[in-house]
Structure 1
């Protein structure tokens, strides 16, 4: 049986115990991360009421690298977005530099047409259209992007939970470095733990398979350890990693020697438990700083890795 993941608060408490210097930032984000993690359960009845369904898996589209939500409008999901915003926007307002934008963000998430258009734009990657929405709402583009990802995330996680099987149980079904559900890049990767068969003590797996964790919809999927999720190159010498010489606890940066992109990765075989991956990504910001000093580019830009 797979080990259950820690809660956000348990993961952050463990990180703070090892790295007290990160406590101010982690404590500031904890209420937001906890609320976001709890929202999918609250949003599930609204999703059922909406009648919106995740498209069925189509192997041919997958071979072409098309995630499930590619070309799909999010019309019908506004009630979920509004509920998510009502919970999360006030918490966003408590973060450093965000209080002055709280009123504008609250107004943005009450405008159904604008909000849904921006959400669709986020999934298609049309940055210019998102900048236009930010200008129209008098919100800095970086602030709107962060807020939109934060609010849309629980909605997409509620939707992703309706998949007929976890993606990391379908190792041959998706070969891309971006999410098979929403198309976003991962915020963190992990190497899985050793697996023991409770019925047969002589059967065990060594673990170490690489999984990527979507920063937006929370989907996990298998990915090749020697390949770059950004440029797709693979082979000897393509992927390198950086880690502390002592007390790394499996935490490292995997970076591509070809395109210089990187992604935080944690080796769960060196961890006591299985952390909440969103909290863990935040808790590895000390390695983001090292990566920035080396001129590496985050695979998934976030509020805390832009230096």
Structure 2
């Protein structure tokens, strides 16, 4: 079990208030039809009907409690609020325990710290694959021959969708079994790449390729929030 459900972070509303407001304003700009829903979220937040813990990952997904509580919620919009507001607080909360995670201590495709789904994949200089969590900034090693979403190791399920030639080092790793996908950066090729979060949110064209091929992922996709894909 990830650490967060066993040791909930003592995050209070005041810790997130300012950043959450910015994230909600950003969502209203890129997705105008979300404004009525955002008003409901703001009202529930102000009245204490939802608390910071409602943004945490749960078996139903990131911010599943908001989806269950607020009418008109979508999993992607709720997860966007969580990913945009929780990271600084969770990074600080987990800072002193990151180094305790051993190489073989975790074998799941969700973050060992907060429990959010893997959001990006890096291939490091030594060829190992490191998955990244956008919610808390965590990272962990994971087999390159295994789907992080359904754990399939069937070679016929695991696919590589290669973008245009100018995107050297970038791949879309997809699973034909669960139809999930991750974007991956081979840092042996793209040695000057940025952080996983920057590389992910800076490459929406790769999400477009994956979505048009019928694949999805359980984390917010900016281009999907802005327009149907």
TM (norm. structure 2) is 0.81
Q: Of the candidates 89, 101, 110, which is equivalent to residue 46 of structure 2?
A: 110
Q: Does 1:148 align with 2:82?
A: yes
Is 1:109–1:115's contact at 8 Å kept on the other side of the alignment? yes
Deviation of 1:143 after TM superposition, in Å, equals 3.3
Q: Of the candidates 58, 64, 68, which is equivalent to residue 3 of structure 2?
A: 68
Equivalent residue number for residue 295 of structure 1: 214
Q: Does 1:133 align with 2:69?
A: yes
SS in 2 for 1:226: coil
Equivalent residue number for residue 79 of structure 1: 14
Equivalent residue number for residue 128 of structure 2: 209
SS in 2 for 1:269: coil
Q: Distance in 1 between matches of 2:23 and 2:213?
A: 34
SS in 2 for 1:288: helix
Deviation of 1:286 after TM superposition, in Å, equals 1.3
The 5-angstrom pairing of residues 246-257 of structure 1 reads: 246-257=165-176
Q: Distance in 1 between matches of 2:10 and 2:159?
A: 42
Gaps of 5+ in 2: none
Deviation of 1:299 after TM superposition, in Å, equals 4.5
Deviation of 1:232 after TM superposition, in Å, equals 0.7
Q: Distance in 1 between matches of 2:82 and 2:163?
A: 34
Residue deviations 1:129-176 (CA, integer Å, cap 9, x gap):
4334222xxx64453442233212322222222325175xx3211111
Equivalent residue number for residue 224 of structure 1: 143
SS in 1 for 2:159: strand
Q: Distance in 2 between matches of 1:214 and 1:124?
A: 16
Q: Of the candidates 190, 194, 200, which is equivalent to residue 122 of structure 2?
A: 190
Q: Distance in 2 between matches of 1:285 and 1:182?
A: 25
Deviation of 1:177 after TM superposition, in Å, equals 0.9
Q: From the superposition, tell whether residues 276 and 70 of structure 1 become closer, same or farther in structure 2 (CA, over 3 Å).
A: same
Q: How many residues end up aligned between the 2 structures?
A: 223
Deviation of 1:251 after TM superposition, in Å, equals 0.7
Is 1:282–1:304's contact at 8 Å kept on the other side of the alignment? no
Gaps of 5+ in 1: 1-65, 194-206
Q: From the superposition, tell whether residues 91 and 289 of structure 1 become closer, same or farther in structure 2 (CA, over 3 Å).
A: closer
SS in 2 for 1:233: coil
Q: Does 1:173 align with 2:92?
A: no
TM (norm. structure 1) is 0.63
Deviation of 1:234 after TM superposition, in Å, equals 1.4
Using the TM superposition, name which of 179-188 and 297-306 deviates more: 297-306
Is 1:82–1:110's contact at 8 Å kept on the other side of the alignment? no
Larger Rg: 1
Residue deviations 1:188-239 (CA, integer Å, cap 9, x gap):
111013xxxxxxxxxxxxx221010112111111010001101112154442
Equivalent residue number for residue 183 of structure 2: 264
